[in-house]
Structure 1
């Protein structure tokens, strides 16, 4: 399985964090529309992420729900067109819910910085420090905490769980 250290936070100042992410990544970022369908599974989380071009990623992951930097282990299976697998998984497993978002993606070193506008929730930021095989959780947490500080993210802004959890509340 692949691993990353992840945090999610509510955004207080959208323009400020986008500006800082542009500076740190030395780019304007990449705009991505995503439609995630979460399926009912006995452990972990399983979602089908569909893009505007109809391509899709089936993503299974395990991650604790605490706030702050946490380890996520995941696997991804890619599909050129996601509607058939979506229908099949919906019938076989049942749908837990759906998350639609507009994402601005920035790459800062080995970290994916996501600035997300989540339908029915608002604006959030997510960091994913993609770990190499020889990196420890602690090393990933250090990178995440340093980047949080550079982006101006406060510990009080951190959220636990996934967007799906927030929508279900």
Structure 2
């Protein structure tokens, strides 16, 4: 019975199709995102603490209002659009939760970023300034029930074109991976 319940929960995990790219001209990309979203976007400051886990990624996001979100996600480390499955749980005590997770799992590292969020249809467009790395853009096509991965990928490709994102600017992995690779290099 437990296995059936667990399998059902995995199938119900929300998903999105994501891409991440380096940004060489943040002013141009901001202008295009504002035009496409018909908004000035929303400024968000975040710190994500990543924990050591055997599969996927587990991070605790500290938000500007003092709350937090524990986020688990799995996605392949490839460039271009990729399906990401995730689950999120809110917390009003991110510092306490960070201590418990740190004691239990160990900390992999932390990512601090200033993010501007734009909504374009069913896609979250993030323009990120990541401390220690620079400027990046993420697209997250939030999948609707019954929508295929191919449809999400088509939306991501179209938005990449509209935003002027080139294939050679696409990056693999999470910001945490880039920071850790930078420390090794």
Could you say which TM-score interval applies, normalised by the shorter chain?
over 0.9
- Equivalent in the alignment of 1:77: 89
User: Which moves more between the two structures, 75-84 or 115-124?
Assistant: 75-84
Larger Rg: 2
Partner of 1:59: 71
Provide the TM-score with structure 1 as the length reference: 0.99
Select 1:88's aligned residue among 95, 100, 105.
Answer: 100
Gaps of 5+ in 1: none
1:110 is aligned to 2:141: no
**Higher share in strand:** 1
- Residue 96 of structure 1 deviates from its aligned partner by 0.4
Cα deviation for residue 22 of structure 1 reads 0.2
Match of 2:44 in 1: 32
Equivalent position SS for 1:38? strand
Moved over 6 A (4+): none
TM-score with structure 2 setting the length: 0.91
| Partner deviation per Cα, 1:34-93 (whole Å, 9 max, x = no partner) | 000000000000000001221000000000000000000000000123111111001000
Instruction: Kindly provide the CA deviation profile for residues 98-141 of structure 1, in whole angstroms up to 9, marking residues without a partner as x.
Output: 00000000000000000000000000000000001200110000
> What residue is the counterpart of 1:3 in the other structure?
15
- Tell me how far apart the structure 1 counterparts of residues 25 and 103 of structure 2 sit (CA, whole Å): 41
Aligned residues: 169
Quick one: higher RCO (CA 8 Å, sep 6+), 1 or 2?
A: 1
C-alpha RMSD of the superposition: 0.5
C-alpha distance in structure 2 between counterparts of 1:133 and 1:90, whole Å: 35
2:164 aligned with 1:164, yes or no?
no
Q: Distance in 2 between matches of 1:124 and 1:166?
A: 12
Question: Which one has the bigger helix percentage?
Answer: 2
